[in-house]
Amino acid sequence: MFYKIKQWPRQIRQGIKSLIIWFPVIWQDRWYDHYFIYAILRHKLHLMEHNIRLYGIHTKHIEDADKIKKCVILLDRLMKDEYHENVFKDHYKKWGEPKMRFEDYDKDPELQELHIDYPKVQTEEDKKLQTKEFRLKSKSVQEMINQDVEMLFTLMRKNIQTWWD
């Protein structure tokens, strides 16, 4: 009991420090998107990586810090979510920047149809080719996201229980 009472000042200081460090992340947290889970996880892993790299005492602390850093980098990529932009650069170069327009839907006046037009699509054959390429690139975007998520959580699953001094 005396040991616990003796530790109170230190525990209170550490608790206040944690509140200050975590406040900006928690303040911005929302409950409706995977981005915010990634943000919380990224912050936690970033703090761990920094502390293990600087103050780690186990024999493989630098190697562990490097693995954690790799997780942080993957989380940064997932949070930036630039997969679509990177994959579709060539597509937009070839077909032009898409223009969206809405038209009234014939069967229901309350609804509208979305049409996406590409300036360099001239023929019906161009339209079919552009649509096919669009679908392949969309699939590629999702595969890249899935690959990063898989790599992140595989790395964590294999190592998380050893990332402690």
Given pLDDT bands bounded at 50, 70 and 90, which one contains residue 164? confident
Q: What pLDDT digit, counting tens, does each position of 120-159 carry?
A: 999 999 999 999 999 999 999 999 999 999 999 999 999 9
Handedness of CA 112, 116, 121, 124 (dihedral sign): negative
pLDDT band for position 2 (cuts 50, 70, 90): low
Mean pLDDT for the stretch of residues 17-23? 97
What are 71-127's pLDDT values in tens digits? 999 999 999 999 999 999 999 999 999 999 999 888 888 899 999 999 999 999 999
Q: Provide the residue count of the chain.
A: 165
Give the pLDDT confidence score for residue 165 in this predicted structure.
Answer: 63
Identify the pLDDT of residue 15.
94
What are the structure tokens assigned to 165, written together? 């001094």
Q: Pick the closest to residue 148 from 49, 46, 88, 72 (CA basis).
A: 72
Q: What is the DSSP letter of 32?
A: S
Strand partners, 112: 104
Q: Which residues pair with 116 in a beta bridge?
A: 100
Predicted structure pTM score:
0.85
Q: Please, are residues 75 and 152 in contact by the beta-carbon 8 Å criterion?
A: yes
Cβ-contact 68, 45 below 8 angstroms = yes
Beta strands in 13-156 (DSSP E): 99-104, 112-117
Q: CB burial class (10 A; 0-12, 13-18, 19+) of residue 96?
A: middle
CB atoms within 10 A of CB 3: 6
Instruction: Please determine, for residue 1, whether its predicted confidence score (pLDDT) is greater than 60.
Output: no
Distance CA 41, CA 47 (A): 10
